Structures are given as C-alpha cells and as structure tokens.
Amino acid sequence: MEDLPLNSSLIFISHRPLNWSEGGTMYEWCKDMPAVLIWYLSLQFTNMLLGIPTNLMVLWLIHTSKDESSTSDIFISQLATLDVLFCLIPPLELVSLVFFNHTTSWYILRFFYGIKDFSPLFLSCICLDRYMAVIHPVVFTKLRDHDYRSALAVLVWLIILAYASVKCLGNVPNFDKVFTAMILIVFTFMVMCNITIMWALKQSGPNRDEMHPVKKRAFKMVLIILAIILFNYLPAVALFPFQKYFSPEVFRCYIHYIAFGLMDFSSSIQPILYLSKDTLRWRQTCCPNRETQTS
C-alpha cells in the first residue's frame, strides 16, 4: 500500500502527525531542529518504562483493596487500563518517526493517539464523583451502591473508541477541533469543580482541621486532577490557538512535540500520584505518628 499523500492543510492543524510521504520520515523532515523530537521520543520511552508497571500496580491495588475501595476506583481503573495500552506504542512510534514511514503503522498509531486524546473524560468522571460527594451528599449516598458508574464508564469507552476509530482514518477535515473542544470543556469543568468544592470546604468550618475527612479526601483528589490537567493538558490548549504565529517548521518540529510530550506523560504521572496517595493512607492507618494520632 502506498503512503497517503501529504496534505499541508491537515498537517498544520492536526495535533498528531500524519504519515509524512514527502521528505521521508519526520526525523528527516526536522533534521535541522531535531532536539525536541529526540526529547519527545525519550519522554515516550520513559513513559513506557514508568507507566506500564505503575498503572499495573494501580490496577492490582484496586483489585485487592475491596474493603477500602472508593466510588471513583472504577474510573481510576479504566484510566489505568487505557494508559497501559497507550504506553505500548513507543517502539512503533520510534520506527515510524525515525526509520521507516508506512501507512499501516500510522493507522495503528493514530488509533492509540485517539485513545489517549480522550482519556481526560475519565478524569472528569472522577471529578464529578468527588463533586457529588461534597456538594450533593444525600444524592451521592443514594447512588453509591448502584451501577450508574459502570454504565458511565462503558459510555466513556464507547465515545473514546468511536473517536479513535475516526481518527485512525486520518483524512477527516478539521477533526482536530473535536479534541480542542473536548479538552477546553473538560478543563473548564475541572476548574469549576475545584472552585465549588473549595468553597464548600471553606463553609464546613473556620479552618481546614475541622473539615470532614470525606471532604478532605475529595479536596485532595480534585487538586490532583486539576494539577494533572494544568501540567499535562494546558500547554496543548494554550499553544495551538496561536499556531499561525509560528512558522510551519517551528510548529511542526517544536510546538507540536512539546505540547503532546507533556500530555502523553500523564500516563506516568497519574498512577504515581495515585500510588503516593495510597502509600500515605497506608502509613497513616498502619503506622500512625504523633501528628496523625492527634489530628
């Protein structure tokens, strides 16, 4: 099968690389400015080495900690599963970007890129769960033991797979706007959840020491999600609207890989933060120090 023709109008608006049928591989096209591409590939392999074991550990902890499970665990486990799948692609990505450019490999890569692009939907589900726990505790309690979260997780997977399948084709005009709209909506939703929860916690007592433990956990969870969104996803949202102010070469070889290198690294940051939180909870339960005993 021949490589697809290069469409410059799609290349410069697409947030993921198409297959480069003109000028050889992407590395050859960026041979005069390869630093960020090398950094991106290094970050991807670091992501693979860290992301696969940490996400598998998250899945194992959720599976073995049924007695202390959280209502958000179903979304956390789905996000970990998604990230394990995404962390498998760096070897194929290295071959496609540096050594051998072929249409079939780009179909596979674009599908996995699509899966990762919509992973923030699971973060928004976690944030929604925490929002309901703090702002609407009565409704949250009534829905706690029902299968609504499982149904929502299935719906999110259907949306993600549908998006990834269309993205796999690589020839839908202006399809990148779907991602841009999604990430802006999710980002706004996260910020609003965080502000609302912070306000609710402020009303619960004159200082944080008097906050209800459930509200404290919800506050920490939403802060973690907001930090992930800001660090991993904000660069892409902030830079792409100003694409016309960059030269095509700079945008393709620098801006593109800076933004998506940071976004993809969330596959490692998310499980590490979850594991650190779980370790802290275990230490407070099994080995309380003087501060935890008096708090």
Is the pLDDT confidence value at 208 over 60?
A: no
Residue 53 reports pLDDT greater than 50 = yes
Structural domains in the chain plus CATH codes? 8-294 (1.20.1070.10)
**What average pLDDT does this structure show over 258-275?**
88
Question: CB-side exposure of 226: number of CA atoms within 13 Å?
Answer: 19
Q: Percentage of residues in the chain with pLDDT exceeding 90?
A: 26
Phi, psi of 15 (to 5 degrees): -85, 0
Write out pLDDT tens, residues 64-91: 876 666 788 899 999 999 999 999 999 9
Q: How confident is the model at residue 21 (pLDDT cuts 50, 70, 90)?
A: very low
Residue-level pLDDT at 63: 86
Instruction: Give dist(CA 11, CA 34) in Å, integer.
Output: 18
Q: How many CA atoms lie within 13 A of 29 on its CB side?
A: 24
Higher pLDDT, 49 or 142: 49
- DSSP assignment string, 95-152: IIIII---HHHHHHHHHHHHHHHTTHHHHHHHHHHHHHHHH-HHHHHHHTTSSHHHHH
CB neighbours of residue 244 within 10 Å: 7
- Helix (H) and strand (E) counts in the chain: 16, 0
pLDDT digits (tens, 9 = 90+) for 87-103: 999 999 999 888 887 78
| Average pLDDT of the residues of the chain | 78
- pLDDT at residue 116, as a whole number: 92
Q: Does residue 292 register a pLDDT over 80?
A: no
C-alpha–C-alpha distance, residues 196 and 198, integer Å = 5
Give the DSSP letter of residue 254. Answer: I
Q: Return the pLDDT at 58.
A: 93
pTM, whole model, 2 decimals? 0.80
Using one digit for the tens of pLDDT, what is the confidence trace for 146-203? 788 899 999 999 999 999 999 988 778 878 788 878 888 888 888 788 778 778 876 7
